[in-house]
Amino acid sequence: MRMLIVAVALFGIQNGPGQEQAGALKATAAEAKDATPVFDVAAIHENRKDPTGRSHIWSSATEGDFRTENVTAMGLLQWAYNMPDSRIRGGPPWMRTARFDIDARPDPALNDRLRSLDSAQAREIERRMVQSLLADRFALKAHEESRVEPVYDLVVAKGGPKFQAAQVNGTTINGGKGQMHIAGSDHTVALLAEQLARLVGRVVVDKTGLDGRFDVTLTWTPDDTSGGASASSSDGGGGPSIFTALQEQLGLKLKPAKGPVPILVIDQMERPSQN
C-alpha cells in the first residue's frame, strides 16, 4: 500500500494497468504542493434542485476552466483520477448522492501555459488541478492500492480498424445512453479505451498500436439489468451489445485478461468548505 498525495495525478491509467500506466507516485508531499497548478478561483454550491437529473462536466483543457452541473462527488473523483466508479472504494455515503455545481478558473498565466501544450498534456494537468481542488475544498484523503483483477485488452479485430484518421482541432467526447462519439486529441484510441472502461467496469488496456487523431462513433444497446455491459451479442432488446458493436462498427475487440489494477481507496472526504 502506498499513500496517495491527492495532488499527484495517476498518469496513464487510461492506457492500462501496468507499472507505467498505474503511475508510480514519486513526488513527496512538499514537491507535489509546489509543482501542482491550482485554480485561481473556485465556487462550489450543492445542487439541491435536481437530485436525479442529468449531470454535466465541462472542461476546456487548453484554457483550464472547469465547470460542473449536478455532479456527484463520485463523479468528480472519476473525472479527476480517470477511474470508473468500480475502482473507487470507500468514502461516505453522501459522496454518491449529493450533487454539486462548480465553476473553477485558473489565472491567465496558467491559461497561457496550457495553450502551449497538446490536448492530452493539458487535460492531465487539469485533472491534477481538480485533485488539488478536492483535497483543499472536500478535505479528500486517499491512498492507492494495486490489485490483480480482470481487465480487457483492446485489440484490432480481424479485418482491421473501420475508422479513418481525421484532422480535427481540439477534443470532443460526447456520450449518452447507448452512444458515444470521440473526435480529435492526439491519442483518440486511448480516449476510447478510457471511455470503454467506464462502461464495462474494468480497466481497458489499449493494445491496438493505433495512435493519432481519429473520428470514432459507436452505438449499442445498453444492458441495464446487469449494471454494466454484457458480453453477449445483444441484451434481448434486439440491438448489439457494446462488445459486438465495437467489433462490427469500429473493427476493434475487447479480450478478457488479468492484470494489476490501480484502486483508489477513499480514507476521508467531507462536504465542501464555504466559498
The string of pLDDT tens digits covering residues 220-270 is 998 743 334 444 444 445 689 999 999 999 999 999 999 998 899 999 999
Give me the average pLDDT of each 10-residue run along the chain (275 residues).
33 36 36 66 90 78 82 93 86 95 91 82 89 96 93 95 82 82 82 88 91 91 54 55 96 95 94 87
The pLDDT assigned to 37 comes to 85
Calculate helix-pair angle for 119-137, 73-81, nearest 10 degrees.
Answer: 140
Q: Nearest 5 degrees, angle CA 234-CA 213-CA 261?
A: 60
